[in-house]
Structures are given as structure tokens and as C-alpha cells.
């Protein structure tokens, strides 16, 4: 192996990003890549051979130098001399820490981002190698990369390669497809011994470009980064070409009558109906967020005769079943079955799934095994409708669905040319409850207060609603922002983050169909809703004699009727989920304080305030808390104040509109102006769990208005 210049790190990052950005090459966060080369040891000034390898976690498509672990190659390879054997190979992962180069990361924060390390960094900086960076934790696959005597190594999980890896005669298929250029490694759990096996095959077969790992994926290598990438792609595309040319057209069998896809609108409507029920079932052990897809490949799989048997076999690639569990829950009713029948059957299947999962755990658990983590499914398949994935957050739920789609592609490929034969159930358990996997879970940061909760905020395009949505998302919630102003609410959602965190919907709270559609968006995006903030509002300030019936009706339509309609839909979803929840009304000081020129607004706010008490009394037995917040004079960012209310109130009080916020502040006990963020903080306090036994309460957020004290 010829030494590589440190700039090989930049090539490694570029190669990783190219391979990882194409899901035909590897799944999200799956696989790893590496490069070997020399750099100057800051402690000795002498050249040292290093291994740069993608660390544990992260995704190849977005890998940066900070995601690499950097190890001394001599020390890593010296571990073969102290290797205690396959029965104790897990001990070798801890030994990787003793092979790290410095802190195990690239050198120099600015240069590292450009893949520049070691002596080259010194040349550019002119004052030495720069401060050490702490690298990513070495993964279980580190031995594979370090022990194979090639300058560049890729380990990937392509669907086409795993189809060969899970075919009952995969070794023969590999030989037929690739001849001697691609080897076959029998199933072995990832670890040090697998690295030794691959290294020996590479040493004994100089003409090989890589191997297919039974039940797992592929590994390829090359003398240069370009050659390694080309060899990886040759295996991936060669396997896919073989499947296309030799495979059966309908590898999943004939279509089952009644199990084909419903029309698009009908299956989305059924998904909206089922999502809250499924989310509640999947959250029996711990709260989950949902993800729905009606990908054509999923619908076709569920329409075919082989899908029940194949789904029961479960997935094979460790990256797959660690996220999807060993098998999905599969509904065994036709697509157009009555909703009540479907709901009842899903409850039965869920109970059976939990019993089956517990049996799986008890069959293979030893006294040293970690406790069972939860018996609920991560994937639910509904013929004619699609796939529902569940996880601790939206990204986890979405990725679980993506991984099961990978598994469907793998099963299709294997069945097209052979028989799908995943790794044994006992081996799946050894990985799912592997102490090394448990250690990964322990390293995860503590969940935020609102993790796994889904919030819907009305009037979220500006002011209090926008600030509330922003705060809830910052505390871990997935948020649906609803507002009649489509442009404003789209901007507000984009400001918060990607669709895994926040989605927007144009909604009018005076329209029942619009409200139902908004909750439908929440169901399809996140599985349901368990935190609703009734914030949409408007106000018209007029003396009684000048207040028209239209003024009265408008404010009651938006405030009183609108919040009633939103709360009714929220209750329907929350009752279907069976997970409890929170409904928070953004009421007003004016609900309890009588001021001049304010009869329509004050009466509508008083209506909202009593809705809080009425709904708290009705919904408490279901674990649904209903509380209110009484803000006052939230001028900044307010759509209400900027829409005319500010000018009207300024005229009532005889102050310039620009000074209205300061005027309101001076009449309070604390002499402080109330901002949207103050109201958002109150919403968070009410819903974060510390006040879990509080319902029917109104909290003033008004900087102290004695006339509005609750009595």
C-alpha cells in the first residue's frame, strides 16, 4: 500500500457524500468509508500512518471531517496480537480508544472543514498543526477498514447487494454474476472477527474488488479513492443488472383481489382516520411520533400474495431491523374493509404482536441481556393504504419507513432470482440486544421536555402563535402551524426548521372542513396531535352603539365558535389516540376585565374562558388537560394590533399607536411590556409535564393587572 497524502481526507469526504446521497448505494446512516495515509505526528515530528474512518452514527451523504474517527494504523493492526477470539470480540471495541491519534479527530478547526490535516495544516497555518479535534467514536466496523490492506475501503448497504446477500443461494449467485472478482463471506455479526475474515479473503485473492457479506451488505476496496468508489458501484450496478435480466417480473406473486391500492384521495382519507389509532397503539410502552407513506413499492408489495409470509420473515440487514424491529405488524383485511372492522382487527393484531415480541425476547434473552425495550411495532402495513412508521421523533419514524422500503426492495430482488432467506431470528436478537447497541442508546442525549409530542397551533403566522410554535419546537415537539395567511405561516414554519420538525397548513378556524384538513395534515405528517393551542383571533374595537351585528358575529365566529371547532376536532383525535393531551386557549385579560369600547371582543373572550372550564370537566377522565392563558397588550409582532386593533385601542386611550406598548406597560404592576415569547413560555410551562395535574386553570401573562386578578 502506498502512503496517501493527508488531502486524501478531502477525497474520502467527497466520495462518501457521493455514495451516501444516492439511496441505491446505501440507506440513511448506513455503511461507512475509510482512507489510509500518512501525516506528521505532532508529538514526534515524524510521519505516522493513520486511518480516517466514518465514526459511529451520522450519514455518509452529509459526512464532514468532524464525523471521522482517526486512528494509528500500527496500533490498530497490533490488536490482532491481543485478540482473545470471537467469543470475546466485543472487548475489541473498547481497545479502539487506545488506537486513537490524539483525540481521534482531524486537526485544526478551520482546515479540518476542508479535509486538511497534519503537516499540510502546518504548512498552510505556518505555526504548527493546530489544536486537536475530538473525533467521532470508532464504530464496530473499524476493524474491517483497518485490517484490509487497501488504501481505501467502502462498506455499504445497497438493496441490490443485500438481495444477493439474503438469497438462499447467494454464494452461487455471486459467483455466477461476478466470477472471481467479488467474494462471498458467510454471515457473521459485525465485529473484529468479520474484519479478520475479509482481510484474509482480500490477501488470498488479489484480483478481488470486494465481497458480498451474507445477510448484510457489501465491502469494496481500491488503491485510490476513485478506484474504490468505482469498485463499489461496479458491485452495486452489476448486482442490479443481474436482477433485472434474470429476475421474475412478479416476484411477490399474483395480486390478491381487494388488496390493491385505493384511489389516492381515498387511501389518504383512510390513512388520516387510522393514523391516530395506530399512533396510540404504537405508543403503548412509550410515546411515539408517526410517519406515513403510500410509496408505490409499498402498495404493490401489500397487494401481492406473498406479502404476509415475507413480512413475517422480517428484515435481515442489521441496519434495517435495528430501526424496523424484526418484523412489521401487517393488517390482514382488504383495503375497503369497514373502518370499524379495521380498527378492531388492528387492536387484536397489536395485542398479538406484543405477545409475540415478548416471546421472541424471552426465547433468546440471557441474564446479561438488556431489559426489553418495548413490544410495540415500529412498522405497520395496511393493504391498499400504505405504511406507517413510528419512532421517538419524526426523523426516526421516517427513517424506519425508509428502511422498510429498502427491505421490500431486498425481498423483491431475492425472490426474483431465488428465495429470500434472512439471517436467523436468534442472530437478529444478538444484534438488537447487543451490549454495543445498548451503549449507543445510553450515549444519546436526554430527550427534551416535549419530545415525541405533536402540537398544532392556530394563528401561527404571527405574534403569539408564531412565538409559541417556535418555543414548542425548541423544546422537542413536532409542530403543525396553521393560519389563514398561507404565505406567513409557510415562512414561520420554514424559520423553525425542516419538515421533520414543522409543517404549515393554510386553515380558517371558522370552516369545519378546513379545520379537519389541518388535523389531517398533522395525522399524515406526525401520526396525530396531542397538544393544541387555540390562538387564532381578531378584534374590532367599537363602542356598543357602533358595534354592528356583523362585528359581533365575526368575532364570535373566529374566537368562540372557532376555538370550539378546533377543540372538538382535537378531542376526536386525542380520544382515538388514547394518549391524553393538552388543549390550551389563548384567552385574554378582557375575558375577566371590563373595558370600554370592547363588548364584542370581551364577550367572545369570556366565552373562550368558560370553554376552558367546560372542556376541562368533560375531558379530564381521558387524560386531556384544558387550560387557558390570559395575556394582555401583546403589541409586538401581533397580527391583531397591526391589523387595526392597535389604532383603535390607541384612540380609546388617547396615545399614539407607536407608544401603545409602552402605555400598556406603565399601567401594569411590574411596569413591563408583555411580548409574544412570554405567552409562549406559559404555554410551555402548562404542557411540559411539571403541571401534569393542573386542568381548568387560567394563567395571567399581563405583567400584573390588578383589575384582572382571578377571584
Out of 357, 601, 653, 664, which one is annotated catalytic?
601
Cβ–Cβ under 8 Å, residues 25 and 158: yes
Q: Is-contact 687 580, C-beta < 8 A?
A: no
The full 3-state SS of 440-465, as one line of letters, equals HHHHCCCCCCCCCCEEEEECCCCHHH
Q: How far apart are CA 351 and CA 345, in angstroms?
A: 10
Give the whole-angstrom CA distance, residue 36 versus residue 52.
Answer: 6
d(CA 654, CA 661): 13
Count of beta carbons in the 10 Å neighbourhood of residue 295: 15
DSSP 652-684: HHTS-GGGHHHHHHHTSSS-----HHHHHHHHH
Cβ density class 106-145: b for 16+ within 10 Å, e for less: bbbeebbebbbbbbbbbeeeeeebbebbebbbbbbbbbbb
Question: With the CA atoms of 282, 288, 294 and 295 taken in that order, what torsion angle do they form, in degrees rounded to the nearest 10?
Answer: -110
Q: Between helices 599-619 and 562-577, what is the axis angle to 10°?
A: 20
Residues recorded for the chain: 711
- Helices first, then strands: H and E counts in the chain: 28, 20
Calculate the alpha carbon distances from 508 to 500, 561, 646 in Å: 24, 12, 23
Measure the CA–CA gap between 61 and 698, rounded to whole angstroms.
Answer: 48
Whole-number Å distance between alpha carbons of 146 and 700: 62
Query: Which residue has 399601567 as its cell numbers?
Result: 667
394-417 helix and 296-303 helix, angle to the nearest 10 degrees = 50
Task: Say if residue 613 is exposed, middle or buried (CB neighbours under 10 Å; 0-12, 13-18, 19+).
Answer: middle
Measured CA to CA, the distance from residue 73 to residue 147 in angstroms comes to 9
Q: How many angstroms separate the first and last alpha carbons of the chain?
A: 82
What are the percentages of helix, strand and coil residues in the chain, rounded to 5? 50, 15, 35
Indicate if 420 belongs to the active site: no
Spatial distance between the Cα atoms of 53 and 91, rounded to a whole number of angstroms: 20
Give me the active site residues, please.
601
Amino acid at each position: 500500500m502506498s502512503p496517501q497524502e493527508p488531502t486524501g481526507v478531502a477525497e474520502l469526504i467527497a466520495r462518501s457524500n457521493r455514495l451516501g446521497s444516492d439511496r441505491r448505494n446505501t440507506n440513511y446512516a448506513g455503511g461507512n468509508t475509510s482512507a489510509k495515509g500518512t501525516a506528521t505526528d505532532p508529538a514526534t515530528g515524524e510521519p505516522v500512518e493513520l486511518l480516517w474512518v466514518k465514526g459511529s452514527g451520522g450519514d455518509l451523504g452529509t459526512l464532514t471531517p468532524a464525523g471521522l474517527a482517526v486512528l494509528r494504523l500500527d496500533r490498530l493492526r497490533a490488536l490482532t496480537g491481543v485478540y482473545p477470539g470471537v467469543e470475546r470480540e466485543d472487548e475489541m471495541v473498547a481497545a479502539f480508544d487506545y488506537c486513537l491519534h490524539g483525540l481521534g479527530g482531524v486537526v485544526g478547526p478551520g482546515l479540518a472543514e476542508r479535509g486538511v490535516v497534519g503537516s499540510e495544516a502546518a504548512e498552510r497555518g505556518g505555526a504548527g498543526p493546530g489544536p486537536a479535534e475530538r473525533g467521532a467514536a470508532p464504530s464496530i466496523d473499524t476493524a474491517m477498514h483497518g485490517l484490509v490492506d487497501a488504501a481505501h475501503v467502502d462498506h455499504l448497504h445497497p438493496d441490490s447487494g443485500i438481495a444477493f446477500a439474503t438469497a438462499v443461494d447467494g454464494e452461487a449467485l455471486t459467483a455466477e454474476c461476478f466470477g472471481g472478482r467479488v467474494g462471498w463471506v458467510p454471515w457473521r455479526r459485525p465485529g473484529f472477527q468479520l474484519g479478520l475474515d475479509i482481510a484474509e479473503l482480500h490477501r488470498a485473492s488479489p484480483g478481488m474488488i470486494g465481497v458480498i457479506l451474507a445477510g448484510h451488505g457489501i465491502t469494496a476496496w481500491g488503491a485510490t479513492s476513485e478506484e474504490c468508489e468505482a469498485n463499489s458501484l461496479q458491485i452495486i450496478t452489476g448486482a442490479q443488472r443481474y436482477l433485472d435480466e434474470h429476475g421474475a417480473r412478479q416476484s411477490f406473486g399474483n395480486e390478491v383481489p381487494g388488496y390493491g391500492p385505493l384511489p389516492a384521495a381515498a387511501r389518504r382519507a383512510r390513512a388520516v382516520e387510522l393514523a391516530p389509532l395506530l399512533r396510540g397503539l404504537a405508543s403503548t410502552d412509550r410515546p411515539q411520533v408517526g410517519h406515513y407513506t403510500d410509496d408505490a413499492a409499498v402498495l404493490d408489495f401489500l397487494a401481492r400474495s406473498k406479502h404476509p409470509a415475507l413480512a413475517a420473515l422480517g428484515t435481515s440487514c442489521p441496519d434495517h431491523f435495528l430501526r424496523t424491529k424484526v418484523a412489521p405488524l401487517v393488517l390482514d383485511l382488504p383495503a375497503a374493509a369497514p373502518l370499524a372492522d379495521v380498527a378492531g382487527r388492528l387492536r387484536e393484531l397489536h395485542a398479538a404482536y406484543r405477545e409475540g415480541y415478548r416471546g421472541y425476547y424471552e426465547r433468546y434473552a440471557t441474564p446479561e441481556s438488556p431489559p426489553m425495550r418495548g413490544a410495540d411495532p415500529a412498522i405497520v402495513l395496511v393493504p391498499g393504504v400504505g405504511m406507517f412508521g413510528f419512532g421517538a421523533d419524526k426523523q426516526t419514524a421516517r427513517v424506519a419507513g425508509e428502511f422498510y422500503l429498502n427491505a421490500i426492495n431486498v425481498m423483491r430482488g431475492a425472490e426474483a432470482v431465488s428465495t429470500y432467506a434472512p439471517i436467523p431470528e436468534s442472530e437478529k436478537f444478538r444484534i438488537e440486544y447487543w451490549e454495543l447497541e445498548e451503549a449507543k442508546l445510553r450515549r444519546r442525549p436526554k430527550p427534551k421536555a416535549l419530545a415525541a409530542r405533536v402540537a398544532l397551533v392556530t394563528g401561527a403566522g404571527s405574534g403569539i402563535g408564531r412565538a409559541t410554535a417556535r418555543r414548542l419546537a425548541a423544546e422537542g415537539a413536532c409542530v403543525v402551524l396553521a393560519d389563514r395567511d398561507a404565505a406567513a405561516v409557510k415562512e414561520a414554519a420554514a424559520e423553525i426548521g425542516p419538515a421533520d420538525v414543522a409543517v404549515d397548513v393554510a386553515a380558517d378556524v371558522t370552516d369545519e372542513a378546513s379545520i379537519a384538513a389541518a388535523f389531517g395534515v398533522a395525522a399524515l405528517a406526525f401520526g396525530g396531535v396531542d397538544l393544541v393551542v387555540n390562538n387564532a383571533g381578531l378584534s374590532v374595537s367599537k363602542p356598543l352603539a357602533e358595534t354592528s351585528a356583523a362585528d359581533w358575529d365575526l368575532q364570535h365566529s373566529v374566537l368562540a365558535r372557532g376555538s370550539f371547532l378546533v377543540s372538538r376536532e382535537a378531542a376526536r383525535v386525542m380520544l382515538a389516540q388514547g394518549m391524553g393531551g393538552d388543549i390550551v386557549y389563548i384567552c385574554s385579560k378582557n375575558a375577566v376585565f371590563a373595558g370600554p369600547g370592547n363588548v364584542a371582543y370581551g364577550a367572545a373572550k369570556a366565552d373562550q374562558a368558560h370553554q376552558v372550564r367546560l372542556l376541562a370537566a368533560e375531558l379530564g377522565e381521558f387524560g386531556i388537560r384544558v387550560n387557558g392563558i390570559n395575556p394582555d397588550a401583546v403589541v409586538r409582532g401581533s397580527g391583531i394590533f397591526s391589523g387595526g386593533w392597535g389604532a383603535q385601542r390607541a384612540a380609546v386611550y388617547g396615545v399614539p399607536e407607536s407608544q401603545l406598548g409602552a402605555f400598556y406597560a406603565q399601567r401594569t404592576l411590574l411596569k413591563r411590556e408583555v411580548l409574544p415569547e412570554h405567552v409562549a413560555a406559559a404555554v410551555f410551562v402548562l404542557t411540559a409535564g411539571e403541571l401534569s395535574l393542573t386542568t381548568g386553570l387560567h394563567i395571567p401573562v399581563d405583567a400584573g393587572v390588578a383589575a384582572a386578578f382571578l377571584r
